[in-house]
Structure 1
Amino acid sequence: MTDPLDKATSKAPATLGEGCLSRYDPDDLSPEDGTEFPGAAELWKQMKPEPEGEA
């Protein structure tokens, strides 16, 4: 059986900030890091509630 922690040894993207302001550096991210989400706008339209009074 393979070790499930093998994936944890891959290089993590660089971060900016410290503590609760820490975030991944956008310049260090790539498509392999999952930075592309072409369906995001469509998903947002499906997930957000409609304002009251509009139907």
Structure 2
Amino acid sequence: MSDPLDKATSKAPAILGEGCLSRYDPNDLSPEDGTEFPGAAELWEQLKEQADEPEKPA
């Protein structure tokens, strides 16, 4: 991973919307912005399974 301080000086992606509805423009994002997450579907399934399990008393 590169130096995080290098990111601070890079060009930020365009933003759509205003206030609480603001979000990065997906068309302006690139792999350098961290848009690739190959394990997202697996993580989502794992988190859903954990949420469905009843909590065990300590």
TM-score (structure 2 length as normaliser): 0.70
Question: 1:42 and 1:6, CA in 2 relative to 1: closer, same or farther beyond 3 A?
Answer: closer
Matched length: 49
How far 1:50 moved relative to its partner? 2.6
How large is the Cα RMSD of the aligned pairs?
2.0
Higher relative contact order (Cα pairs below 8 Å, separated by 6+ residues): 1
Partner deviation per Cα, 1:9-37 (whole Å, 9 max, x = no partner): 11110000011110000000001101011
User: What stretches of structure 2 of length at least 5 have no aligned partner?
Assistant: none
Structure 1 or 2: more helix by fraction: 2
Percent identity (aligned): 84
TM-score (structure 1 length as normaliser): 0.73
Q: How many Å separate the matches in 2 of 1:44 and 1:21?
A: 23
